[in-house]
Chains A and B, each alone.
Chain A
C-alpha cells in the first residue's frame, strides 16, 4: 500500500485568523493528503508533540501575529526534544511574514515560507517534490 503523506496544519500562539489554515487543510485533503488540523491557540509544545505522536511528514505552521521568529524555532526544538526528527519532515510556515524574516526562518530550519496570495497548488507541488528530496539528502548525510 502506498504511504499517505500526513500533514499537520497548526495554528500557534494568540492570533485567531484561521481562515487560511482551514482552506489549506481542505485543499490538501482534496489533493490526497491526510490532514490533521490542530485548531486555534496551540503552544509550540502542543504542536510539537502532536507532530511526533501523529508521525506526520509535514508540519505547516500558520501565523498572523508577528511572533513567528519567536514561536517557529520553539516548535522545531520541541519536536527534537520529544524524540522526533525535523530533518525527516518538511517544516512550512504560512502567513503574514515580512520578506526580511523569510531568510531568517529558513536559517532556523524552515523549508519554505508561503505568504498570502500563494496558489495552494504551489504548496501541494512543493510538498510532493521537496519531501522525497529532503529525506534523500538526510539519508545520504
Chain B
C-alpha cells in the first residue's frame, strides 16, 4: 500500500490500512517515518493504559475483561499485547490474543469493529515493550480509539518502560508472590498509578493488599521527609521528580478475580478517575512532555549514531584506542568533532 492510501485509510477507519501501517512501523520500513509525520497532528486524544506485572498474574485476562467493560461504556478500545521474542532465533509465540473472550457470548470481542487487537514481539528487547510500541500507540490513537490498552511482556522487577508510553500504569500482582520486602524493592512497584491484586479468590490476597497499602503509606512518608530535608539536595531533587509523577494521587489497591469478572468495574472506574485527575491537575501534560523529551533524545541519538557511522573515521579512531595511542574519552571527543565538521556535508 502507498503512504497516502495508508494515511487516508487510517483517517477513514480502514482496519486493513491500520494493520499495514503497524507492520511498516514495526519493521522500520522507509515509509514509516512519512506515515508517522502525516498522522501526528491527529494524535493525543486517547487514554493510554499500561498493564504490567509478573508472568502469569492474569494481565491478558484483565485486558479482555477491561475491553468488554469499556465497550459497554461506549468506548472504542485498541489493544497492543507484547510477548517475548527469542534473542536466539528471532521467533516468538504470541499468545495473548487467545485470552480475548467476552463473558457475553452474544457480543464476541474478536469480531467487534470497536476493538482492534495487535500482538507484538519484543524481539529480544529488555524493558517489557517492543521497540516501536510508542509509534503503534500513536497509530491506534489517530485511528480514533478512546482507550488504548498496552500489555507488557510478563515483567520481572525492573521492566518499567511502560511509563514511557502509558498515561495510566496498572501494576498487577497476585497472592503468594513474595513478602513485604519484595513490594518495597525499587522498580516495577514504584511505577503504579493503580495496583491490582488479581486471583483474589486465592488465599493470601488480603496479605498482598495490606503490604501494598503499607508500601504506599511509606511513599507518603518519604515525600514528607524529603520535603523537610535541608541538605542532600541532589537526593531530594531526584526523588522529588519521582514523587512528582504522582502529585497528590494516592494509588488505589483493587482486588479482582479477572476470569469471573469480579472487581473489573471498580478497576475501570479507577482508570477513568486517574485520567480525569491527570487532566484536572495538568499532570498529563507534564508526563507527556517528559515522554516527548525522552523520545526526541532517542531519535536524535539514533540520527547522531548514524552520522558517526557514515561521516567519521570511527574505525581508525577505534584502532588508535586499541593501540593505547589515545584514551576512550579523547577518542569520543575526536568523533564528535568530526561529526560537527562533516555532519552537514552533502545533505
A interface, CB within 8 angstroms of B: 1-4, 25-26, 28-39, 42-43, 45-46, 49-50, 52-55, 82-84
B interface, CB within 8 angstroms of A: 14-16, 19-20, 22-23, 27-28, 85-86, 89-95, 97-98, 108, 110-111, 116-119, 121, 123
In the complex, are the beta carbons of A84 and B16 less than 8 A apart? Answer: yes
Q: If A45-B111, A53-B118, A54-B119 touch, does A35 touch B93 (CB 8 Å cutoff)? A: yes
Distance in angstroms between the alpha carbons of A42 and B98 in the assembled complex: 10
In the complex, are the beta carbons of A29 and B116 less than 8 A apart? Answer: no
In the complex, are the beta carbons of B86 and A53 less than 8 A apart? Answer: no
In the complex, are the beta carbons of B15 and A53 less than 8 A apart? Answer: yes
Distance in angstroms between the alpha carbons of A50 and B97 in the assembled complex: 9
Nearest Cβ distance between residue B150 and chain A, in whole angstroms? 16
Contacts of A1 in B (CB 8 A): 27-28
Instruction: List the 6 shortest-distance A-B pairs measured between CB atoms, nearest first.
Output: A39-B98, A83-B16, A46-B110, A29-B91, A55-B19, A29-B93
In the complex, are the beta carbons of B91 and A33 less than 8 A apart? Answer: yes
Distance in angstroms between the alpha carbons of A83 and B19 in the assembled complex: 11
Q: Which of A37, A45, A55 contacts B95 (CB 8 A)?
A: A37
Distance in angstroms between the alpha carbons of A32 and B89 in the assembled complex: 5
In the complex, are the beta carbons of B110 and A42 less than 8 A apart? Answer: yes
Q: How many A-B residue pairs have CB under 8 A?
A: 86
Q: Which of A34, A38, A46 contacts B85 (CB 8 A)?
A: A34
Distance in angstroms between the alpha carbons of A117 and B86 in the assembled complex: 27
In the complex, are the beta carbons of B92 and A34 less than 8 A apart? Answer: yes
Contacts of A54 in B (CB 8 A): 19, 97, 117-119
Q: Which of A36, A45, A84 contacts B97 (CB 8 A)?
A: A36
Contacts of B98 in A (CB 8 A): 37-39
In the complex, are the beta carbons of A37 and B116 less than 8 A apart? Answer: no
In the complex, are the beta carbons of B90 and A4 less than 8 A apart? Answer: yes
In the complex, are the beta carbons of B15 and A34 less than 8 A apart? Answer: no
Distance in angstroms between the alpha carbons of A50 and B89 in the assembled complex: 24
Distance in angstroms between the alpha carbons of A59 and B16 in the assembled complex: 16
Question: Which one of A25, A39, A55 has the greatest number of beta carbons of chain B within 10 Å?
Answer: A55
Distance in angstroms between the alpha carbons of A52 and B97 in the assembled complex: 14
Distance in angstroms between the alpha carbons of A83 and B111 in the assembled complex: 14
In the complex, are the beta carbons of B91 and A3 less than 8 A apart? Answer: no
Q: Which of A2, A31, A38, A49 contacts B111 (CB 8 A)?
A: A49
Q: Which of B15, B28, B92 contacts A29 (CB 8 A)?
A: B92
Closest A residue to B90 using CB positions:
A32
Closest B residue to A42 using CB positions:
B110
In the complex, are the beta carbons of B121 and A4 less than 8 A apart? Answer: yes
In the complex, are the beta carbons of A53 and B108 less than 8 A apart? Answer: no
In the complex, are the beta carbons of A55 and B23 less than 8 A apart? Answer: yes
Distance in angstroms between the alpha carbons of A56 and B96 in the assembled complex: 16
In the complex, are the beta carbons of B22 and A31 less than 8 A apart? Answer: no
In the complex, are the beta carbons of A55 and B93 less than 8 A apart? Answer: no
Q: Which of B23, B28, B86, B110 contacts A49 (CB 8 A)?
A: B110
In the complex, are the beta carbons of B94 and A34 less than 8 A apart? Answer: yes
In the complex, are the beta carbons of A83 and B15 less than 8 A apart? Answer: yes
Contacts of B92 in A (CB 8 A): 29, 34-35
